[in-house]
Amino acid sequence: MPSVPYTIRRSDRARHARIVVSGDGVEVVVPRRFAERRIAPLVEEKRPWIERTLERMRESEAEVAPAHLRDGGSVPFLGERLTLAVRVEPGRTRAHVARRGDSLHVVVADPGSAAIRDALERWYRRCARAEVAPRLDAATARAGARYTSLQIRAQRTRWASCSDRGGMSFNWRLLLAPAEILDYVVEHEVAHLDVPDHSERFWTLLADRAPGFREHERWLRRHGHALRL
């Protein structure tokens, strides 16, 4: 039986070895001084779980159309599909992306999906702030709460977070999901301004503010790995 392909990432923050299965493949995260000879047996031990997870991801990707990074391709945007119109201009110093109706016009210096991906990620990051900020303002106003800052990031394992001081951080890849998923994640983080943990009190509060949250949680667990360019 062929071995499971995986990458290794050593982390100063990791206290124990763990396996992460995502749209990018299988990654083993280990403490800095973790012996390499122990990694392969760990992966083999977890093989049944890894293979089940990969199979579920393949089934999920058949349900959610992926991004197609080429001229005439398309990308998801809050439940819509935007058609790409790509033009290559050699020597250009900065890529340009502009939305015109249901199309995204992308101008890059180099051919290939890598240049398109980089340009689109920068565009999505800008759009994320414009999409998240009004939702966050409205949700905190309804809750009678306040946040202190808003950051847009590309977290590896989180969709969003709320710090003890009320700092909010959201993953730009949420814009690749339907709009109701972004709305839910905003409500989730705003609820943390009142209840910082995931206690029963937190889930009761969230159910009151976002009655359909369980369905949205399930959608993210099933399809979240596919939200990538």
Over residues 174-222, the pLDDT tens digits come to 999 999 999 999 999 999 999 999 999 999 999 999 998 999 999 998 8
Quote the pTM value: 0.81
For position 53, what pLDDT does the model report? 85
The model's pLDDT over 82-97, given as tens digits with 9 standing for 90+, comes to: 999 999 999 999 999 9
Which of 53-57, 112-116, 118-122, 137-141 has the least mean pLDDT? 53-57
Helix 179-194 vs helix 113-143: angle between axes, to the nearest 10 degrees? 50
Domains, the chain, in order of start with CATH, read 7-63 (no CATH), 117-226 (3.30.2010.10)
For the chain, the distance separating the N- and C-terminal CA atoms, rounded to the nearest angstrom, is: 32
If you search the block for the tokens 């969709």, which residue do you land on?
159
pLDDT digit string (tens) for 41-90?
A: 999 999 999 998 888 887 777 677 889 999 999 999 999 999 999 999 99
Q: Please give the backbone phi and psi of residue 97, each rounded to the nearest 5 degrees, phi first.
A: -130, 130
Q: Is 228 exposed, middle or buried (0-12, 13-18, 19+ CB in 10 A)?
A: middle
> Phi and psi at residue 28, in whole multiples of 5°?
-105, 115
- Per DSSP bridges, beta strands 103-108 and 96-100 are antiparallel
pLDDT value of position 25: 86
Distance, CA of 18 to CA of 38 (rounded, Å): 12
Please tell me the predicted confidence (pLDDT) of residue 173.
96
- CA 167 to CA 193: how far, in whole Å? 9
The pLDDT of 145-159, averaged and rounded, is: 92
